Structure 1
Amino acid sequence: MEEIEFVLEETKDLMNKAIQHTKSELLKIRAGKASPAMLEGLMVKYYDNDTPISQVASVSTPDARSIIIKPWEKNIIGDIERAIINSDLGFNPQNDGDIVRINIPPLTEERRINLTKQAKNEAEEGKISIRNARKDANDQLKKLQKEGVAEDDVKRAEDKVQSLTDDFVKKIDEILEQKEKEIMTV
């Protein structure tokens, strides 16, 4: 049935998006190693507009313990420093007039535990998105059944939706397990 295939494809698409979103959110959680992704979402005042840091500077990690931010215009180096200090990232930037350097302190045990909780919350959000996609798909399938699609076809499609849900939830669990390992590795 064409309508059923469309519902299944759409559901798979939504579940894939939930996985991608969860991965990108987990990337922002630092795991002891410096990464440019840690500054993703950081906004810098640039000509009175909030601008993503990636649009006003290059961000690199020369080693596992530091991040270097090289602004494209020297006059905004103070704004970059201020944005980092005012963020909830907990970093202490150093400005040498040309670049802003952030030294990443090793994580304390307490901080690791908090980051693990944060990662679990992000993973749970991903699972909720997947379950919502399942619910929407099942609602669409029931609607198709009312419109005359055979009950057996709808039942098979619902089984496929449940199978997709199980697979995608398992993927999120695997991604979370990997992230927890990364966070807890000293």
Structure 2
Amino acid sequence: MSGDFQDLQRRMDGAINAFKHDLASLRTGRASSNLLDAIQVPAYGSTMPINQVATVSVPEARMLAVNVWDKSMVGAVDRAIREANLGFNPIVDGNNLRIPLPELNEQRRKELAKIAHGYAENAKVAARHVRRDGMDYLKKAEKDGDISEDDHRRESEKVQKLTDDTINMIDSLLSGKEAEILQV
């Protein structure tokens, strides 16, 4: 089971890392180049993440700069940012877009906190799916006679502890991000 347990650990870590990435895209009071990660730009006949058509940087604490590589894509990038419902109004300047970050009002902070809770719930569901797969594997191994009932119980407790630790980590990350979002 140790190889399979390492696979479960890797998948749980994957759920945590995906959650961290989701949280990084949520806006707090400070600018971050990750704020635009979720934006998809219609480009060259398909949709692409913004980081495949432009460079996003943070020239100052409350400003994002987007340097679009292909001048013909500036309009599409501008539209994609405006339509992403992030509350940004880019200022077009040649191949560059400057995005001043408006102050977050109380209502927007609460909306962002709700979004963070949604991301946390998705991460917890992913962790529970990994737990279910591990438990199913153990049941099958016991039924096939590969492990004893005692081994099944012992390994099940390990899988449950791994799940509990993962969910506690998700809750901890969520509370930290929520405090950061709600901080005025």
**Where does structure 2 lack aligned partners over 5 or more consecutive residues?**
none
Counterparts of 2:149 and 2:39 in 1: how far apart (Å)?
51
Distance in 2 (alpha carbons) for counterparts of 1:47 and 1:133: 37
SS in 2 for 1:15: helix
State the shift of 1:30 in Å.
0.9
Cα distance, 1:127 vs structure 2: 1.0
- Structure 2 distance, partners of 1:50, 1:126, is 25
Could you say which residue in structure 1 is the equivalent of 2:48? Answer: 51
Structure 1 residue matching 2:58: 3-state secondary structure: strand
Say if 2:70 and 2:95, in contact at 8 Å, map to a contact too: no
TM-score (norm 1): 0.92
Whether 1:8 and 2:5 are equivalent positions in the alignment is: yes
The alignment covers a number of residue pairs equal to 183
Instruction: Quote the offset at 1:49 in angstroms.
Output: 3.2
After TM superposition, give the deviation of residue 9 of structure 1 in Å.
Answer: 1.6
- The equivalent position to 1:20 in structure 2, one of 10, 17, 32, is 17
Indicate whether 1:183 and 2:181 are aligned.
Answer: yes
TM-score by length of 2: 0.93
Give aligned-pair identity as a percent: 42
Partner of 1:162: 160
After the TM superposition, which residues 65-104 of structure 1 pair with which residues of structure 2 at under 5 Å, given as runs? 65-104=62-101
Secondary structure of the corresponding residue to residue 67 of structure 2: strand
* Secondary structure of 2:87's aligned partner: coil
Q: Is the 8 A contact 2:69 2:95 kept in 1?
A: no
Structure 1 gaps, min length 5: none
Secondary structure of the structure 2 residue equivalent to 1:75:
helix
Question: Partners of 2:56 and 2:23 in 1: how far apart?
Answer: 19
Partner of residue 62, structure 1:
59
What is the root-mean-square deviation of aligned Cα atoms in Å?
Answer: 1.4
